[in-house]
Structure 1
Amino acid sequence: MRLRSSHAAVNIIQHDHDVLSAVLQGMLQIIRAISDGGKKPDLKVLRAMLLYIHDYPERVHHPKEDRFLFPMIRKRTGEADEAIIELEAQHALGDRLVLDLEHALNRYELEGAAAFEPFALMAGQYADFYKAHMRLEEQKILAIALEVLSEDDWRELDAAFSEEKNPLEGSRADTTMQQLFSMIVNLAPPPVGVGPEM
């Protein structure tokens, strides 16, 4: 269930999760279409999706949680300690999993159909891993944060998270990430994007 909050940090985290979910879902739809015998897409779209997953969540989103949100919750309560330890470990693991997925895509591109199934399996496992990760953040960590953090805490968190909004958001957008997301939309086939049909 989606949390309702007036706090920018909560809304930014949830919006980042929505965008990442859309990219992951798009990747899985393209993989299913290949598996069902559709024509092979331009693999550039899968590369762009993996680049987004690697560059934004792993380089911007997670570090803010690690540097700001988790320490602030720890100052106020020990109730979330176990979940925070698990999430920090997942943040460290996530980067390696994306690199493994990129490697599997390279192998598929070079070796063809024989390497498709391992890539598809790995992509599904990564999507499941990340969905569970986002669910834990939203249902446990953010719920606890809303209970225990003070208004001063929230002002500090909101400022930290608003400093570099999701690049798809607008005014302080990072041009490279906007271009990357546009590339994904333009290359991905419907219903993921507006690229050629598979």
Structure 2
Amino acid sequence: MFQNKLYVHSPKTGDRFYEIPLEIGTISGFFGRKDHTEMFLRFDSFLTPGIIYYVDFKGIQPSHQVKLKEIRRTHLKGVDTSKFTIKQVFCKSKDGTKIPLYIVHNKNLILNGDTPALLNGYGGFNIAEMPHFSVSRILFLDNFKGVFALANLRGGSEYGEEWHEGGMREQKQNVFDDFIAAAEYLINDNYTSPKR
């Protein structure tokens, strides 16, 4: 699964203590000093315009799970993002490679193939397509009752250098095959249809 995760490790041994749970999204910045126990981080997702969290690691222990404290949250006036859901699935490309696909839609979506869909993907130049907020996408979801999907195509940096090289030069066709596989997944699972 390709998404940002936040783990707490022992400052002495480096052993992993636990994961701090986050929704599917992107940690886009850490702010703090290595000689302090406090840290701030910025998080956003397909449905969250931005949250600043604060955490204090003072006295960290494996049995003492630290909590993120929400300091500030950006809201989009007039749109209730709680009515949408995000999931990640994997579709098979032409050569059998599993391609990650994020799907965002209304929780009450009826899978009948009659929903407009917006599929996005970029497989090139070692650039990772991360879950992030977009006003235009959320307005599409809300006003057109649509489905948004983001395919992590080969050629990007989502899974390291091998993933990147799998979508470049002589392998560039893989990028197009991956995108087609994502579109076919949305059609075959009745999220949308070619006419939509």
TM-score (ref. length: structure 1): 0.23
Kindly indicate which of the two structures has a greater share of residues assigned to strand. 2
Task: Select the structure with the greater relative contact order (CA < 8 A; seq sep ≥ 6).
Answer: 1
Between Structure 1 and Structure 2, the one with more helix by share is: 1
- Kindly name which structure, 1 or 2, has the bigger radius of gyration based on alpha carbons: 2
